Amino acid sequence: MKPVIIISTYPDKKSVTKIAKMFVKNKTSACVNISKISSIYFWNNKIENSSEYLAIFKTTSKNKKLLKQKIKETHPYDVPEIAEVDVSSINKPYLDWLIDSTT
């Protein structure tokens, strides 16, 4: 089974923490790393500079479609970022843990 990383950003710590706990509890994601970041982007014809929370969802190829769907359904943004990162290499013990945590 192949590891997959899905990245998304959230407007506040409360919303991302709630989603992360839900996905780990239902085993859609083995782990979610959350970091506060600053994002500069173009929205509604102006440049925005805002604080956001970056969520790095760690899952498997088996769960990636469901995870992306659930992020889209639960996300507070009108246009959420849902980016898949191709993981070409990962250490075996971590991969074993990831698979065990999502099955």
One-letter-per-residue 3-state SS of 40-72: EEEECCEEEEEEEEEEEEEEECCCHHHHHHHHH
In this predicted structure, what is the pLDDT of residue 52? 97
Q: Nearest-CA neighbor of 82 among 95, 64, 100, 98?
A: 64
Among 26-30, 70-74, 85-89, the range scoring the smallest mean pLDDT is 85-89
In this predicted structure, what is the pLDDT of residue 86? 82
Give 43-79 pLDDT, tens digit per residue: 899 999 999 999 999 999 999 999 999 999 999 999 9
What is the value of pTM for the model shown? Answer: 0.90
| Residue found by looking up tokens 């971590």 in the block | 94
* Domains observed in the chain: 3-101 (3.30.70.120)
Q: What does the DSSP 8-state code read for residue 88?
A: -
pLDDT at 87 exceeding the cut of 90: no
